[in-house]
Structure 1
């Protein structure tokens, strides 16, 4: 495997008596596109939240690009190079698409810098504007750049969330169900946009239920079930993996499926 960019070891998390993650070990190599799969309640979103600083872990370690990050706040983790999107992105009603993208830039200067150092602040502002314009164009949002962000479709809001995440120049992008509620015609656009990002060097971790999307995008899949990793394989190996079938169907259902296949063989 190539250089490990993210290394998670012994990760544990419980909410009261409910153990959500139980000793998870996971590594992501630089340049990979990893799909994080599992049935509802398997711990996918919790793992994503912990890795990005939105939840505290109970035990274990997380190392990103050689630096421990498990005790860092979310904004510090962004500064280290991990950005994320959300399943249901909320957009402001009084800001345009371009303004939202600009607000996400870490290069923008505040009002005091503008007053005290006007030339550098203007240069940074223009650089952020140029970057936002480029990303909106690459993510197919240039035609709606001046519309209110809240007026976008669900799929367009997902794309704008990706733009905002990319404004900080991350090394790794983590996406939480990027196609949930998205029109099928836009899903291929999202796949192609993410493949272009990966070709340019971005490492991706994608929480998703849409198996066609996963097969079109990911190079490897990690499957969680009841807080533990039960498989790490290529997307085309998922259907034949017994532990994956048991995670999604249950052991009894999997046995019935096998029996039916034998009966009609």
Structure 2
């Protein structure tokens, strides 16, 4: 089975700061892949490269077999890949429902054409129905008329997922979806991601919470200093020497190997 997302040999530096050094990974249809690594290992940069927000110095990104390495972010969304950000910033003068509707890229096309008013109204009605369904499934209906900037941090994370889903993606990429989230909302996010996978939406998730990773992910990829050092099942993380070294240092990894022997 061909990969849904195939990232090969990505290099990226910002001035003299080398962030990615030949990073390669793939996401297969139906997978939830966790992208892990210490702070500064290059996780968010790799997500930015894959989603078109940062141009790699070299390497290739393919989605469903098509090279998207040089496409801008909005074109990549049209191909079927959407993402969220670690710290979602929400407008203060738009409601939760309005922000969700604004994320529907199909409406942008409708509004910029000379379609009949009836066709525009039909498209808007379909978008409104989808937005309301998403907000309901993400438990945001009670706050949908509030200013998007006024809801809690966890609710903003859920809203950012709703916005990404308005594009009907085949692959959803999330940057630390549970960071700073109340435990009750964290459970809601876990259930949402599991439900999305059941609906056929693959996922690539940057996350530090190992309990969350074991709950949600089917496979894990670990970055350290811009390089992939592990590709394994979640249950193998705690005994993987390269993962232990990445997080705790070489001495800890050697001690773990001696203990295992």
Separation of aligned partners in 1, 2:118 and 2:174: 36
Matched, 1:151 2:150: yes
**Alignment deviations for residues 201-258 of structure 1 (CA, whole Å, 9 cap, x no partner):** 0010000001111111000000000111000001000001011000000102434566
Q: Which residue of 2 aligns with 1:103?
A: 102
Q: Which residue of 2 aligns with 1:175?
A: 174
Give the unaligned 5+ runs of structure 2.
none
Q: Is the Cα–Cα contact under 8 Å of residues 241 and 257 in structure 2 kept in the other structure?
A: no
3-state SS of paired residue (1:231): strand
Q: Which residue of 2 aligns with 1:134?
A: 133
How much does 1:112 deviate? Answer: 6.1
Q: CA 1:199 to 1:112, structure 2 compared with 1: closer, same or farther past 3 Å?
A: closer
Separation of aligned partners in 2, 1:119 and 1:174: 35
Q: Is the Cα–Cα contact under 8 Å of residues 36 and 222 in structure 1 kept in the other structure?
A: yes
Give the structure-2-normalised TM-score: 0.95
Matched, 1:44 2:61: no
Q: Which residues in structure 2 correspond to 1:12-23 (within 5 Å)?
A: 12-23=11-22
Q: Is the Cα–Cα contact under 8 Å of residues 107 and 125 in structure 1 kept in the other structure?
A: no
Aligned-residue CA RMSD (Å): 1.7
Q: Which residues in structure 2 correspond to 1:4-153 (within 5 Å)?
A: 4-108=3-107, 113=113, 117-153=116-152
Q: Which residue of 2 aligns with 1:198?
A: 197
Q: Is the Cα–Cα contact under 8 Å of residues 6 and 64 in structure 1 kept in the other structure?
A: yes
Separation of aligned partners in 1, 2:228 and 2:201: 24
Give the unaligned 5+ runs of structure 1.
none
**Alignment deviations for residues 66-97 of structure 1 (CA, whole Å, 9 cap, x no partner):** 11000000111111111000111011111111
Separation of aligned partners in 2, 1:84 and 1:96: 21
Q: Is the Cα–Cα contact under 8 Å of residues 13 and 22 in structure 1 kept in the other structure?
A: yes
**Greater alpha carbon shift after TM alignment, 145-154 vs 214-223:** 145-154
Structure 1 residue ranges, 4+ long, deviating more than 3 angstroms after superposition = 109-114, 253-259
**Greater alpha carbon shift after TM alignment, 248-257 vs 29-38:** 248-257
Q: Which residue of 1 aligns with 2:211?
A: 212
